[in-house]
Amino acid sequence: MLHPGSGRRGSPIFGVWLTNGDIDHVAGLLSLREQQDFTIFATRGILDELASNAIFSALAHDVVVRRAIPDNAEIATGYGLNVTSFAVPGKVPLYREGAQVLTDEIGDMTSGLALRHAGRTALYIPGCARMTPEIKARITKADVLLFDGTTFVDDEMLQLGLSNKTAARMGHLAMSGPGGTMAALADVTGPRKIFIHINNTNPALIADSPERRAVEAAGWEIAHDGMEIDL
Amino acid sequence: MLHPGSGRRGSPIFGVWLTNGDIDHVAGLLSLREQQDFTIFATRGILDELASNAIFSALAHDVVVRRAIPDNAEIATGYGLNVTSFAVPGKVPLYREGAQVLTDEIGDMTSGLALRHAGRTALYIPGCARMTPEIKARITKADVLLFDGTTFVDDEMLQLGLSNKTAARMGHLAMSGPGGTMAALADVTGPRKIFIHINNTNPALIADSPERRAVEAAGWEIAHDGMEIDL
C-alpha cells in the first residue's frame, strides 16, 4: 500500500497487511526504519504474536500503528483500494509449533486478502492448506488470483532429501495431483490464475520443464520477479 | 567464515560471529535456511537474548550450534583464521532498552573481533561508544582496523531533525570532534584505518564532501559495497 512520502526519510508505504506470522511474512518488518510511520494490519492473533516478541518493539508503538482486522471486514484505505482479510486453512508459525500441529486449521493465523479497486478484485492467498467451498466461491468471482504455489507435488521436499515435511505438513496445497490446486480449480476459468510463493524446489519454475507445461496447459501462470499485473 | 558447501543446498557459511544483539546484527539470521548447519559464536548474553526469542528457534537447535565465547579467548576455526572476541563499550539492543540506558557499558552485549591469519590481524569493531586505553593498544598493534563510522558529528541526527538521539546515546563514537574517533586515534598510524557501519546521514559518504576530505586527510578510508581487503 502506497501513500506519498515526504521529508528526508519519507516513505511511500502506507500500510502492511500480514497474512501469517511466519518468518517469510514478518521478518521484513525488521528492515523498515524504526521511525517510519505506517500501519500494520493483521488479525488479533498475528498482532499478539508480534507483541509477544521484543524484537518487533523496534517498530515504535508511538510511530507504527497496529490495527486488528476482523475476518471478512472490508477496510477502505482511502487510496482507491479496499482490502478484505479472510481466514484460510493453515497453521501457526513454524517457530510456534508444539509437539502436535494442526496444519489446516481455519482460525486467525493464516489469511488471504481480497484487493478491490474500481469494481475489480484480486485475491492474494500465499498459503492455503486446503481448498474449501467458501474459498472456491470467492475465487470464482474474482478477476485475478495469486495463489500458493509452494510445491508441484506434495512430497517434493522428501523426494529431494531436503526435508521430511510434505507440502501439507507445511500448510500448503501442492499444485498437482488429485487433491492439488490445479485439480481443485480446474472448472474455475473466469479469473486470471497465477501461482506465487513458489519454493525453489518446484520444477514448474523451470521455463521449459514438463511441470511448467502442465501448469500452463491448466490455465495457470507462474509469477516472476518484477511481474506487473493490471487489474 | 567460509567452509566448503556440499549437497543440493550446501552453504559456504561455517560460522556467524555476533558482536551485538541489535536488529542490524541478528535479523540476517532469519534469512538463512532453517536446515543449514553452521555455528553461531557469541557471548553468553547475546546467545541468551536469541534463546529468549521464539523466532530464532527457526534456526533448529539440532542443526545450528550455539557456542558461547569467553572474552579475549582466541578460537581457531581450522580454516587458517583465528577469531578473538573482546568487549567494547556499548549498550543493550534497542528493543531491550528500559527507562534508563547505560550507553557505554563494558559487558557482554557489545564486542569487537580480532581476526588473525598468518601472523596478521584485522580488527572489526562496528560499534564502540568510547575509546579505552585497552582498545587503543589493541588497534596500535593491528594491521587493519574496521571501525564504527556511524555519524560524522555526535548530534547529526538531531541537526537533520531525524531523531532525538546523539551518536553517544546510540552507543557510537562520532568520527569528528575533540572526543571523536579521528582525534582519539590521531597518533595511531600503523594500521590501515577504515570506517564501516556508516549511517546514511553521514556526509563523509559523499565522495567530494568536505567531511570526506577531512576523513581522508586524517588517514582514514570510507568502506564501500564490494570492498575487498588484503590482510
Q: Which residues of A touch B62 (CB under 8 A)?
A: none
Tell me if B53 and A58 make a contact (CB, 8 A cut-off).
no
Question: Angle at the Cα of A88 (from A85 to A57), degrees rounded to 5?
Answer: 60
Tell me if A161 and B58 make a contact (CB, 8 A cut-off).
no
Residues recorded for chain A:
231
Query: Which 149-168 residues of chain B touch chain A by CB within 8 A?
Result: 160-163
Place of cell 546515546: B169
Tell me if B95 and A55 make a contact (CB, 8 A cut-off).
yes
Q: For chain B, give the mean pLDDT.
A: 94
Q: What CA–CA distance (Å, rounded) separates A208 from A21?
A: 34
To the nearest whole Å, the CA of A131 is away from the closest chain B CA by 27
Query: For strand B39-42 and strand B15-17, is the pairing parallel, antiparallel, or unpaired?
Result: parallel
Work out the pLDDT band at B32, boundaries 50, 70, 90.
Answer: confident
**Residue B7: its pLDDT value, please?**
67
Per residue, the 3-state secondary structure of chain A, as one string, reads CECCCCCCCCCCECEEECCECCHHHHHHHHHCCCCCCCEEEECHHHHHHHHCCHHHHHCCCCCCEEEECCCCCEEECCCCCEEEEEECCECCCHHHCCCCCCCCECCCCEEEEEEEECCEEEEEECCCCCCCHHHHHHHHHCCEEEEECCCCCCCHHHHCCCCCCCCCCCCCCCCCCCCCHHHHCCCCCCCEEEEECCCCCCHHHCCCCHHHHHHHHCCEEECCCCCCCCC
Tell me if A8 and B160 make a contact (CB, 8 A cut-off).
yes
Residue A4 in contact with partner chain B when CB distance is under 8 A: no
Tell me if B8 and A160 make a contact (CB, 8 A cut-off).
yes
Q: Which residues of A touch B26 (CB under 8 A)?
A: 55
Residue B61 in contact with partner chain A when CB distance is under 8 A: no
**Residue B41: its pLDDT value, please?**
98
Q: Which residues of A touch B56 (CB under 8 A)?
A: 95
Question: Which three cell numbers, joined as nine digits, stand for B177?
Answer: 570532534
Residuewise pLDDT in 10s, chain A (231 residues): 555 566 667 788 999 999 999 999 999 999 987 778 899 999 999 999 999 999 999 899 999 999 999 999 999 999 999 999 999 999 999 999 999 999 999 999 999 999 999 999 999 999 999 999 999 999 999 999 999 999 999 999 999 988 899 999 999 999 999 999 999 999 999 999 999 999 999 999 999 999 999 999 999 999 999 999 999
Q: What CA–CA distance (Å, rounded) separates B88 from A69?
A: 45
Interface probe with A: pick from B37, B59, B95, most Cβ of A within 10 Å: B95
ipTM tops 0.85: yes
Q: From residue B5, how far is each of B12, B172, B191 by CA, in Å? A: 5, 36, 33
Residues recorded for chain B:
231
Q: Which residues of A touch B96 (CB under 8 A)?
A: 54
Closest CA to B111 of B143, B137, B84, B131: B84
Place of cell 537474548: B49
Residue B142: strand, helix, or coil:
coil
To the nearest whole Å, the CA of B94 is away from the closest chain A CA by 7
pLDDT in tens, B176-212: 999 999 999 999 999 999 999 999 999 999 999 999 9
To the nearest whole Å, the CA of A156 is away from the closest chain B CA by 14
Q: Which residue type is seen at A93?
A: P
Q: Which residues of B touch A58 (CB under 8 A)?
A: 23, 94-95
Which one of B27, B35, B161 has the shortest CB-CB distance to A30?
B27
* Nearest chain B alpha carbon to A57: B95
- The answer to whether residue B53 scores a pLDDT higher than 90 is yes
* Nearest chain A alpha carbon to B161: A8
* Nearest chain A alpha carbon to B54: A95
pLDDT in tens, B112-145: 999 999 999 999 999 999 999 999 999 999 999 9
Closest CA to B13 of B39, B31, B35: B39
Q: Give the DSSP letter of residue B131.
A: -
Residue A134 in contact with partner chain B when CB distance is under 8 A: no
Question: Which three cell numbers, joined as nine digits, stand for A106?
Answer: 481455519
Average pLDDT over residues B89-106: 92
pTM score:
0.91
Question: Is residue B193 within 8 Å of residue B222, measured between CB atoms?
Answer: no
Q: What CA–CA distance (Å, rounded) separates A231 from B127?
A: 47
**Residue B11: its pLDDT value, please?**
81
Interface probe with B: pick from A9, A26, A95, most Cβ of B within 10 Å: A95
Residue B63 in contact with partner chain A when CB distance is under 8 A: no
Q: Which residues of A touch B95 (CB under 8 A)?
A: 54-58
Tell me if A35 and B162 make a contact (CB, 8 A cut-off).
yes
**Residue A162: its pLDDT value, please?**
87
To the nearest whole Å, the CA of A158 is away from the closest chain B CA by 13
